């Protein structure tokens, strides 16, 4: 791996940006120079990395002249606005937003699945949706072994998927419920404390939400499987961190639960936790602050020929966002693709 990468983080003060700093330090990414950037209103904020203090600057085009790679942890509108200017400074963009994910000229990467697609980037590399990342890490090894024809997935998504405001709203709604007062609705459409909300992002014309359709479109692109049939239901639940997913797959070739367990046990980035008789299965509480995707409850789908069902949990802030982006940056660095 090359040494001394000049690395910029845009949105360094946000939840994902803060997690990126933590993951960079844990993985000992070869940072030669760290450039922390954010909204001009947050310029001057002080952040620590490897014991040293860094002062956040405004994300102006000139800020990227000294950078090799830029990690963008901002919204799609900002990414669309600034990414071309960053690329013009000969800096590779790894974008965490939805802005470029479905652009055919932009690779959409989960390193455990399609790392080779990084090779053809033209300056921008997209980080997928957190729920998509979690699912494809779990199902792609089975697809390689038995060719998946169809996926049905329901997600159970933590409030931190909506950022710090989502965490604050769950706290406020719990307090309101306990004290018998009316909750203030800001982030979520309904009270989230002691409730589940089958609505994440806006509804599309086909009655699926955009969050659900992201899982369809992005999975097909990442797995190079445009004909793969996928239907998703995305649900917000009152959990602070880590998303869970109930996944049903139908395969061309028959695959027993035991064969699936072995395939997944050997797969990169996966930990199999599958001993229901001893109450061992993935849960968000225990997958939080981890980079692996945990898979369990692997069983036959008794309603479908060549069908398997499984339960998955993973930290959507780490593997679903920060860690995946940094894994991409590691490959860009190792292959000198910047």
Mean pLDDT of 252-267: 98
Domain boundaries 5-128+321-334, corresponding CATH code? 3.40.50.720
CATH H superfamily, domain 132-316: Dihydrodipicolinate Reductase; domain 2 (3.30.360.10)
pTM: 0.96
Interacting residues of 86 by C-beta distance below 8 A, sequence separation 6+ = 61, 64, 67, 70, 93
Mean pLDDT of 52-76: 94
Give the pair of three-digit tokens for residue 66.
């000294």
Residue 4 · residue 67 · CB < 8 Å: no
- CA distances to 84, 87, 208 from 67, in Å: 14, 10, 40
Mean per-residue pLDDT over the chain, rounded: 96
Residue 101, helix vs strand vs coil = coil
% of the chain surpassing 70 pLDDT:
99
| In the chain, where the domains are located | 5-128+321-334, 132-316
Question: In what helix (H) or strand (E) does residue 93 lie, and over which residues does it extend?
Answer: strand 92-95
Catalytic residues: 130, 243
Query: Is it the case that residue 2 has pLDDT exceeding 90?
Result: no
Least confident of 17-21, 58-62, 114-118, 219-223: 58-62
- The pLDDT assigned to 3 comes to 66
Residue 218 banded pLDDT, cuts 50, 70, 90: very high
């Amino acid at each position: 791996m090359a040494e001394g990468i000049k690395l910029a983080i845009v949105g360094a003060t946000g939840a994902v940006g803060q997690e990126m700093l933590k993951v960079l330090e844990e993985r000992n990414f070869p940072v030669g120079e760290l450039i922390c950037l954010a909204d001009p209103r947050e310029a001057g904020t002080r952040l620590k990395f490897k014991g040293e203090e860094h002062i956040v600057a405004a994300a102006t085009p000139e800020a990227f002249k000294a950078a090799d790679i830029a990690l963008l942890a901002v919204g799609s509108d900002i990414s669309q606005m600034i990414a071309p200017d960053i690329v013009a400074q000969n800096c590779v963009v790894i974008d965490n937003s939805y802005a470029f994910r479905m652009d055919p000229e932009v690779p959409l990467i989960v390193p455990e699945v399609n790392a080779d697609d990084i090779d053809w980037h033209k300056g921008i590399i997209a980080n997928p949706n957190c729920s998509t990342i979690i699912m494809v890490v779990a199902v792609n090894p089975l697809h390689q072994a038995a060719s998946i024809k169809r996926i049905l997935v329901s997600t159970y998504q933590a409030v931190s998927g909506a950022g710090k405001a989502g965490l604050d709203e769950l706290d406020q709604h719990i307090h309101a419920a306990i004290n018998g007062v009316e909750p203030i609705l800001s982030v979520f459409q309904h009270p989230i404390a002691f409730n589940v909300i089958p609505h994440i992002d806006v509804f599309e014309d086909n009655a699926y939400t955009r969050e659900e359709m992201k899982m369809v479109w992005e999975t097909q692109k990442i797995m190079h499987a445009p004909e793969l049939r996928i239907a998703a239901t995305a649900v917000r639940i009152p959990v602070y961190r880590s998303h869970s997913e109930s996944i049903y797959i139908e395969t061309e070739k028959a695959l027993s639960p035991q064969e699936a367990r072995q395939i997944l046990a050997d797969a990169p980035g996966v930990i199999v936790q599958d001993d229901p008789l001893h109450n061992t299965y993935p849960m968000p509480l225990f997958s939080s602050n981890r980079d692996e995707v945990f898979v369990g409850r692997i069983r036959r789908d008794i309603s479908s020929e060549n069908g398997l069902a499984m339960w998955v949990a993973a930290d959507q802030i780490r593997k679903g966002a920060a860690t995946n982006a940094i894994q991409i940056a590691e490959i860009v660095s190792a292959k000198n693709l910047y």
